[in-house]
Amino acid sequence: MEATLEATTRETFGKNEARRTRREGRVPAVLYGGDGKEATPIAVPPKALLKILHSESGQNTLISLKLAGASDTRVLVKDFQIDPVTHEVLHADFYRIAMDRVLQVTIPVTVHGEPKGVKQQGGILEFIRREIVIECLPADIPEHVDVDVSELMLHQGIRVRDIATNPKWKSVTEGEAMLVHVIMPKAEEVAAPADAAAAATATPAEPEVIKKGKKEEGEEATAEKKDDKKPKEDKKK
């Protein structure tokens, strides 16, 4: 996927400048890379950037950055920050790319089908790795890698080397790296006997406390009666 993003230059770097940019309704960003070019502070519209980040290709979306006074630049999102409360983009970093140079990107693994080991043998599908790193030209970046797990039986899995090869890209992630496998559900811990023993031990403790409390109350009552008798003895005298 390719997208277009309008951008304007900012005066300088710094927190104050970033705050001012946000108050104006734009996202402070920095443009890096490109044959020794210095980093350039820029600002981009938040809605357009969020649309790109929420697309299927997400951070791997090839972007044509339109910067005033300069020719269009092909970029990728290098990094970004999201406010955990408002979910607004606080900052973004872009880096220039050359369309004829191979680069490395991280792409998600998409699983299809329901394993036979789950349907027939009562297993569960466990994800080991949800992303892999590949190497390709910018125009050939795939949105994801498809993995069919429908034939997997219990104790079987799919490794990176099992993924169908593609002439447009090659995996950088080690071929032996496991992506998914079917395993038996973990047996629930048999804690009932221990809990029962603990309960049995704890059960008599409560009556003892109550009994002790009653005894103390009885002792206090006896003491009070004795104290009550003292004035009467004095009165007889």
pLDDT number for residue 191: 47
- Name the band, by pLDDT with cuts 50, 70 and 90, for residue 205: very low
CA-CA distance, 116 to 110, in Å (whole number)? 18
- Amino acid symbol at 154: L
Residue 29 has pLDDT above 50, yes or no: yes
CATH class of 104-183: mainly beta
pLDDT number for residue 105: 96
Give every strand in the sheet of 178-183, ordered side by side.
Answer: 124-127, 178-183, 157-159
Residue 210 has pLDDT above 70, yes or no: no
pLDDT number for residue 188: 53
Judge residue 159's burial from the number of C-beta atoms within 10 Å of its C-beta, 0-12 exposed, 13-18 middle, 19 or more buried.
middle
- Name the fold adopted by 2-96: Ribosomal Protein L25; Chain P (2.40.240)
Domain parsing of the chain, residue ranges: 2-96, 104-183, 192-236
pLDDT number for residue 195: 53
- What confidence tens digit (pLDDT) does each residue in 81-102 have? 999 999 999 999 999 999 999 9
- What confidence tens digit (pLDDT) does each residue in 91-149 have? 999 999 999 999 999 999 999 999 999 999 999 999 999 999 999 999 999 999 999 99
